[in-house]
């Protein structure tokens, strides 16, 4: 009666083991990233069983959720901390990614107040134009940061692919190592961690061309979906179906495939385009834009086509030889953004499976 997200924890654990194993062969430790699954504790535990060394998330709420559930690991905040929330960041995470001195100063004060040391990875912008210190500014930045009490500079990092789609290459990873060495030689310090990769780095890692000093990756999508993210290619030896969405058929009728009458904007201010397929059997399902990114939903049965959606309905062409009925459930694979929204929607029930048995739900 509700849409369900079926989550196979064994497949996530297995995928983690495969990805972590690949990275380990190349001297790379992996932080498992749970931001796409709202920091779900059971999914984080599956990643930890699979061998990740820490859990990273972009939201403090998600780190709190993991902590409250007693997930025993090191937490890393992989989004830049807010200046106004330094105390909360130091309380929720042992490490955060940073690019602003004012924020480091606030983290320093918060860490000293709590009597702890907060580790930071300083992000460098290698051209993807999301977060990061511009390379020319790195040495003076680190020089300032070194004077801050309660802050340990764990290393430097870069995030490629997410914003401009920049691909990690041997060249830009060598550039990252060069920058680390410039910092080390100029300031007489050692940087333990060079964090170069997310899921877009798998091909470079597997090619053996990543410079040996790049020793850390922050990986979400490759573990959850079993694919690298430069071309969204399935990764050998991993499962692509750890997450499956099911929804129920509420209405099933033969209707024309073209709307009838004068048309204006739809509920979302768009003018949808319809293809004339003649008369089709249309199913209306109990899932919509409020629950998933419908552009990222594909039927597990590749004969069924998504026709469109509103906030509460998904329309499908289910013209088939065999019988299909109101009340039946249909299954869907999800894109990253569709999963993100399904995890965030309270209307989608989460069913977690381990050893083929239902082992809890997230609602
Ligand atoms: C989201 C994110 C990741 C993980 O990216 P995937 O493509 O899911 O592996 C890694 N690092 C940072 C900084 C991120 O924001």
- Cα(first)–Cα(last) distance of the chain, in Å? 15
Best probe residue, ligand 1, of 37, 79, 93, 162 (max atoms within 8 Å of C-beta): 162
| Domains in the chain: ranges and CATH | 9-225 (3.20.20.10), 243-356 (2.40.30)
CB-based pocket (< 6 A), ligand 1: 33, 35, 58, 78, 97, 159, 162, 198-199, 218-222, 229
- Predicted pLDDT of residue 161: 85
Catalytic: which of 6, 11, 35, 45?
Answer: 35
CA atoms of 91 and 227, how far apart (whole Å): 33
Q: Locate all alpha helices (DSSP H) within 115-232, ordered by sequence.
A: 138-146, 170-187, 202-207, 221-225
Rounded distance from Cα 17 to ligand 1 centre (Å)? 18
Told to judge if 253 belongs to the known catalytic residues of this protein, a careful annotator would answer no
Q: Give CA 201 to chain center in angstroms.
A: 14
Which pLDDT value is given to residue 362? Answer: 55
Q: Give the pLDDT confidence score for residue 322 in this predicted structure.
A: 85
For residues 64 and 30, is the Cβ–Cβ distance under 8 A?
Answer: no
Per-residue pLDDT of the chain (363 residues; tens, 9 = 90+): 999 999 999 999 999 999 999 999 999 999 999 999 999 999 999 999 999 999 999 999 999 999 999 999 999 999 999 999 999 999 999 999 999 999 999 999 999 999 999 999 999 999 989 999 999 999 999 999 999 999 999 999 999 988 878 899 999 999 999 999 999 999 999 999 999 999 999 999 999 999 999 999 999 999 999 999 999 999 999 999 999 999 999 999 999 988 888 888 888 888 888 888 899 999 999 999 999 999 999 999 999 999 999 999 999 999 988 889 999 999 999 999 999 999 999 999 999 999 989 987 655
159 C-alpha vs ligand 1 centroid, how far in Å? Answer: 7
Question: What are residue 60's DSSP bridge partners?
Answer: none
Q: Which ligand 1 atom is nearest residue 223's CA?
A: 9
User: What φ, ψ does residue 188 adopt, rounded to 5°?
Assistant: 65, 35
Nearest CA to ligand 1 atom 7: 199
Protein residue with least CA distance to atom 14, ligand 1: 78
């Amino acid at each position: 009666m509700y849409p369900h997200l079926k989550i196979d924890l064994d497949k996530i654990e297995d995928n983690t083991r495969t990805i972590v194993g690949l990275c380990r062969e190349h001297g790379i430790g992996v932080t498992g990233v749970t931001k796409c699954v709202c920091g779900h504790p059971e999914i984080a535990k599956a990643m930890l069983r699979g061998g990740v060394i820490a859990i990273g998330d972009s939201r403090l709420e998600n780190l709190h959720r993991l902590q409250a559930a007693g997930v025993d690991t090191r937490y890393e905040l992989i989004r830049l901390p807010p200046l106004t929330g330094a105390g909360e960041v130091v309380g929720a995470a042992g490490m955060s990614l940073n690019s602003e001195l004012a924020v480091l100063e606030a983290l320093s004060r918060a860490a000293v107040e709590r009597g702890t040391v907060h580790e930071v990875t300083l992000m460098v912008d290698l051209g993807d134009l999301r977060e990061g210190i511009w390379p020319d500014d790195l040495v003076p930045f680190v020089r300032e940061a070194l004077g801050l009490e309660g802050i340990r500079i764990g290393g430097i990092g870069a995030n490629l692919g997410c914003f401009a789609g920049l691909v990690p290459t041997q060249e830009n990873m060598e550039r990252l190592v060069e920058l680390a060495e410039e910092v080390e030689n100029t300031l007489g310090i050692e940087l333990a961690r060079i964090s170069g990769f997310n899921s877009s780095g798998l091909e470079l890692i597997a090619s053996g061309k990543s410079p040996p000093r790049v020793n850390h990756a922050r990986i979400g999508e490759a573990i959850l979906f079993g694919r690298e993210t430069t071309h969204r290619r399935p990764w050998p030896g991993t499962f692509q179906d750890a997450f499956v969405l099911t929804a129920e058929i509420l209405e099933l009728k033969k209707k024309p495939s073209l709307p009838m009458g004068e048309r204006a904007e739809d509920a979302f201010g768009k003018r949808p385009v319809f293809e004339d397929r003649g008369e089709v059997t249309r199913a209306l399902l109990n899932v919509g834009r409020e629950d998933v990114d419908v552009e990222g939903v594909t039927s597990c049965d590749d004969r069924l086509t998504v026709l469109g959606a509103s906030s509460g309905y998904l329309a499908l062409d289910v013209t088939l030889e065999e019988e299909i009925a109101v009340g039946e459930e249909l299954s869907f694979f999800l894109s990253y953004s569709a999963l993100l929204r399904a995890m965030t929607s309270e209307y989608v029930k989460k069913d977690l499976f381990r050893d083929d048995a239902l082992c809890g739900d997230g609602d």
